[in-house]
Amino acid sequence: MGSPASDSDCINELSLIEGPTAAANAAAAAIPYPDVGLGSLRSLHLYKSLYRLHLSIQKSWMRSDLKPKHLAFRAHDRHVVTCLQFDSEKILTGSDDTKIHVYDTKTGALRSVLEGHEGGVWALEYHENTLVSGSTDRSVRVWDIEKAK
């Protein structure tokens, strides 16, 4: 058996390799883009950071001085909106009228209409300026959102 000092050193070394500090470091290292979003997760107190974030979100929702903004607009006339995706700039909607509409997120104004499917559009997904849509006509189309083609 070693001396108490060497046992203590051994325990400290093991806790760095296998203890909660190591788990927190591993969790922080596993964040794919540490500069994006939750920078506080890089610290060793992962649970505290998550709790603080949750509390901040909850308080924001409960503030009485903030009034929610409501935006409603008619899309695709009398047809059913079957799918949509949005970001801070645009809202894309697919419909059973075979068209895809691109709206402004802040105003709801129609920016463009993409036409080409022969059946209803039931799936769409975009990344940056490229949109991929799927239709009941069993076709998949790739679009340039800005050019509306």
Examine the fold and report which residue of 30, 62, 94 is the final residue of a domain before the chain moves on.
Answer: 62
Q: Give me the pLDDT at residue 24, please.
A: 65
Note whether 49 and 87 are same-domain residues: no
> What are the pLDDT tens digits along the chain (149 aa)?
545 555 556 555 555 566 566 666 666 666 665 565 555 555 556 777 778 778 888 887 777 777 767 889 999 999 999 999 999 999 999 999 999 999 999 999 999 999 999 999 999 999 999 999 999 999 999 999 999 99
Note whether 104 and 133 are same-domain residues: yes
Looking at the domain assignment, is residue 72 inside a domain? no
Name the pTM for this structure.
Answer: 0.57
Q: Give me the pLDDT at residue 47, please.
A: 73
Looking at the domain assignment, is residue 28 inside a domain? yes
Q: Give me the pLDDT at residue 81, please.
A: 97
Note whether 138 and 87 are same-domain residues: yes
Indicate which CATH number applies to the domain containing 94.
Answer: 2.40.10.480
Report strand pairing: 140-144 vs 121-127.
unpaired
Nearest to 46 by CA among 54, 57, 56: 54
Domain total for the chain?
2
Looking at the domain assignment, is residue 50 inside a domain? yes
Q: Give me the pLDDT at residue 23, please.
A: 64
Looking at the domain assignment, is residue 99 inside a domain? yes
CA atoms within 13 A on the CB side of 54: 6
Note whether 11 and 56 are same-domain residues: yes
Q: Which domain holds residue 134?
A: 81-144
Looking at the domain assignment, is residue 68 inside a domain? no
Output phi, psi for 28, to 5 deg: -65, -40
